[in-house]
Amino acid sequence: MNKILIQATDLSMKFEQKIIFQKLSFAIRQGDFFCILGPNGSGKTTLLRIILQQLTPTSGTLKSVVSLRQMGYVPQFRNLDADYPLSAKAFVALKLSHSLRPWLNRQEKDRVQQALAKTHLTAKQNLRLGQMSGGEKQHSYLAQAIVDQPQLLILDEPTASLDEQAKFEVMDVVQELNQQGTTVIFITHDPELLQRYGNSQRLILPGGNN
Ligand SMILES: Nc1ncnc2c1ncn2[C@@H]1O[C@H](COP(=O)(O)OP(=O)(O)OP(=O)(O)O)[C@@H](O)[C@H]1O
């Protein structure tokens, strides 16, 4: 069995008096393609925010051997305005930008190119994100999330609202990254994606419907 990266024990979350989930226990191991399922409002994003250390659970513990720097995050699909000014390359490079040294060194530029290549964006890297298709935008978010080579990639419904072909193209990239050793945590509502990619661990959150 691979090493445990994240161990949750009796994890519970309430917002004021509202119970979101109770006594969740699970382990995420190195190399997992770990799927989180559950109805709207069952706390999937809340659980991700606990893993990303943006929220503290009401009770229970979450132990992680992965630092925040080693986590890459792809949010739910958000459409960007058509006049969004950055190119895909500049958008990916943003993640590596420094306040003290506002340019990238050779090694960092290579990493940007590697992330663009892995997400099949090399030929489109100079296109502005605003002009890209939904699938290409989501590839750009994925490229940005992997540019500093995270150990753990966290995806919150990354393909919601994409068409069939774009959805599989994004997920094929995620699967390749997983096969190359990146651990993946993946929220989805989509039974087709689960059947096709979710052959590893699953956590089903029971609550929901606000
Ligand atoms: N900061 C907060 N303060 C109060 N309530 C919150 C907060 N964040 C989330 N909630 C509530 O917690 C519940 C769970 O929200 P969450 O976004 O985690 O669910 P989800 O399973 O990801 O839902 P969806 O599938 O619709 O994205 C919802 O009822 C939401 O309104």
- 3-state SS record for 25-90: EEEEECCCEEEEECCCCCCHHHHHHHHCCCCCCCEEEEEECCCHHHEEEECCCCCCCCCCCCEHHH
State the closest ligand 1 atom to the C-alpha of 38, by its place in the atom list counted from 1.
Answer: 21
Answer whether 0.80 is exceeded by the pTM: yes
pLDDT value for 159: 87
C-alpha angle 129/121/97, rounded to 5°?
65
Rounded to the nearest angstrom, the distance between the alpha carbon of 100 and the centre of ligand 1 is 37
Within 10 angstroms of residue 151's Cβ, the number of other Cβ atoms is 16
Residue ID of nearest Cα to ligand 1 atom 25: 40
pLDDT digits (tens, 9 = 90+) for 5-26: 999 999 999 999 999 999 999 9
Q: What value does the mean pLDDT take over residues 37-56?
A: 93
CA of 161 to the centre of ligand 1 (A): 19
H or E element, residue 174? helix 164-179
Judge whether 91 and 144 are in contact, CB under 8 Å.
yes
Nearest to 87 by CA among 120, 129, 124: 129
Ligand 1 proximity of 51 Cβ (cutoff 6 Å): no
Tens-place pLDDT, residues 91-120: 999 998 876 777 889 999 999 999 999 999
In angstroms, the CA 162 to CA 137 distance is 10
Mean pLDDT across 174-187: 94
- CA-49 nearest atom, ligand 1: 18
